[in-house]
Chain A
Amino acid sequence: MDETISKEKIVEMDEIARKVRRHIIQMIYEAGSGHPGGSLSAADVIVSLYFGMMNHKPEDPKWPDRDRFVLSKGHAAPALYGCLAESGYFPIEELKTFRRIGSRLQGHPDMRKTPGVEASTGSEGQGLSMGLGMALAGKLDRKPYTVYVMVGDGENDCGQIWEAAMAASFFKTDNLIAIIDRNMLQLDGPTHKVMSIEPLADKWRAFGWNVLEANGHNIGELLDALNKAKQTKGMPSIIIAHTIKGKGVSFMEGAVGFHGKVPSEEQYKKAMIELGEGTA
Chain B
Amino acid sequence: MNKTHWDVEPQRPAFSRALVALGNTRKDVVVASADLSSSCGTAAFAQEFPERHYNFGIAEQNMISACAGLATTGKVVFASSFAIFCTGRVYDQIRQSVCYPRLNVKIVATHAGITVGGDGATHQMIEDLALMRALPNMTVVVPADAPETEKAILAAADYDGPVYIRLGRANVPVCTTGKDCQDFEIGKSTLMRDGDDVTLVGTGIMVAKCLEAAEELAKHQVSARVINLSTIKPLDEKILVKAARETGCMVTAEEHSVVMGMGAAVALVLVENAHVPMKRVGIPDSFGESGEPEELMEKYGLTVDNIVDGAHDVIKRRGR
Do A123 and B96 form a contact, CB below 8 Å, given A130-B69, A133-B68, A134-B73? yes
Residues 49-63 of B, flagged 1 when their CB comes within 8 A of A and 0 if not, give 001101011010111
- Among A70, A131, A133, chain B packs the most CB atoms within 10 A around the CB of A133
Quote the shortest CB–CB distance from A106 to chain B (angstroms): 10
Q: Chain B at the A interface: mostly helix, strand, loop or mixed? A: helix
Do A120 and B97 form a contact, CB below 8 Å, given A136-B66, A136-B69, A136-B70? yes
Quote the shortest CB–CB distance from A225 to chain B (angstroms): 23
Q: Are A133 and B69 in contact (CB under 8 A)?
A: yes
Does B30 sit within 8 A of A, measured CB to CB?
Answer: yes
Do A160 and B54 form a contact, CB below 8 Å, given A119-B101, A123-B92, A167-B59? no
Q: Are B96 and A112 in contact (CB under 8 A)?
A: no
Question: Chain B contacts of A138 at CB under 8 A?
Answer: 73
Q: Are A163 and B69 in contact (CB under 8 A)?
A: no
Closest to B70 in A: A133
Question: Chain B contacts of A166 at CB under 8 A?
Answer: 57, 59
Does A266 sit within 8 A of B, measured CB to CB?
Answer: no
Q: Mark out the residues of chain B between 173 and 231 whose CB falls within 8 Å of any chain A CB in the assembled complex.
A: none
Kindly list 12 other residue pairs between chains A and B, CB separation below 8 angstroms, not including A126-B92, A132-B62, A137-B73: A110-B100, A111-B72, A120-B97, A120-B101, A126-B93, A126-B97, A130-B69, A134-B73, A137-B69, A137-B72, A140-B51, A167-B56
- Among B30, B52, B63, B97, chain A packs the most CB atoms within 10 A around the CB of B97
Does A183 sit within 8 A of B, measured CB to CB?
Answer: no
Q: Are A133 and B66 in contact (CB under 8 A)?
A: yes
Residues 119-155 of A, flagged 1 when their CB comes within 8 A of B and 0 if not, give 1111101110111111111101100000000000000
Does A164 sit within 8 A of B, measured CB to CB?
Answer: yes
Do A129 and B61 form a contact, CB below 8 Å, given A111-B101, A120-B100? yes
Which residue from B52, B69, B71, B72 sits with its C-beta under 8 Å from A140? B52
Q: Chain A at the B interface: mostly helix, strand, loop or mixed? A: helix
Does A171 sit within 8 A of B, measured CB to CB?
Answer: yes
Does A159 sit within 8 A of B, measured CB to CB?
Answer: yes
Do A122 and B96 form a contact, CB below 8 Å, given A134-B73, A136-B70, A137-B73? yes
- Among B63, B71, B72, chain A packs the most CB atoms within 10 A around the CB of B72
Does A118 sit within 8 A of B, measured CB to CB?
Answer: yes
In the bound assembly, the distance between CA atoms of A33 and B61 in angstroms comes to: 30
Which A-B residue pairs are the 7 nearest by beta carbons? A133-B69, A129-B65, A163-B62, A163-B59, A133-B66, A130-B69, A137-B73
In the bound assembly, the distance between CA atoms of A246 and B93 in angstroms comes to: 29
Residues 161-189 of A, flagged 1 when their CB comes within 8 A of B and 0 if not, give 00110110001000000000000000000
Quote the shortest CB–CB distance from B88 to chain A (angstroms): 15
Q: Are B61 and A137 in contact (CB under 8 A)?
A: no
Question: Chain A contacts of B57 at CB under 8 A?
Answer: 166-167
Quote the shortest CB–CB distance from B67 to chain A (angstroms): 6
Closest to B93 in A: A126
Question: Chain A contacts of B56 at CB under 8 A?
Answer: 163, 167
Q: Are A119 and B62 in contact (CB under 8 A)?
A: no
